[in-house]
Amino acid sequence: MDGNDNMLLLVAVLVAILAVVAIWLWSRRSRSQHLERYFGPEYHREVARTGSRDKAEAELMARQKRVEDLHIVPLAPTDAQRFTQQWRAVQARFVDNPRGALAEADQLVRDLMQRRGYPMGEFEQRAADISVHHPQVVEHYRAAHLIADGDRRGQVDTEGMRQAVIHYRALFAELLETRDDDRDGGRAHHHGMRTQS
């Protein structure tokens, strides 16, 4: 092999290395964009919490893997109807007993999550699990939980309790997914789910 052959071989190796690096960078950027689009505000929350895109993305991918291994199921239409009726009853009680209605809303959301197959661990784990399938409403869950904690310490007025119930409702409505044999094309009716002012 003469000097020209060695030079050509070196150039070919460098081109191959650059191609591998370019593919890796493109793949990483593509993954980042996908995670950011999918998780939305939750992506940015994790970046801020961890201080690193790499750590945030590793956490979000770990969540996806964890939830993949769970047995999350849609509701039977009869279960969706029962939960909807219970939610309406909670809302109706809000006027006379806002504190009690807030506690019931919190419990009803937990019951619905459990019925769907989400484990009932500590709050941050529940929120992380929910964020995988419902990334656009997990902030509502966090906001409601924060207000409910404040209420337990006597730091929330009636308007705050009303806001918490509205936040719970956003997650509740998302979780009412039903099996495909439901006449609504896999979604439960959500009419009449407005929180009273």
3-state SS string over 115-141? Answer: HHCCCCCCHHHHHHHHHHHCCCCHHHH
Question: Can you give the pTM of this predicted structure?
Answer: 0.74
Tell me: pLDDT of 102 over 90.
Answer: yes
Domain boundaries, the chain: 3-68, 77-175
Positive/negative CA dihedral, 52, 53, 56, 57: negative
For residue 144, give Cα distances in angstroms to 20, 53, 172.
Answer: 47, 27, 12
Q: Which residues pair with 187 in a beta bridge?
A: 177
pLDDT digits (tens, 9 = 90+) for 19-61: 777 777 676 777 788 899 989 899 999 999 999 999 999 999 9
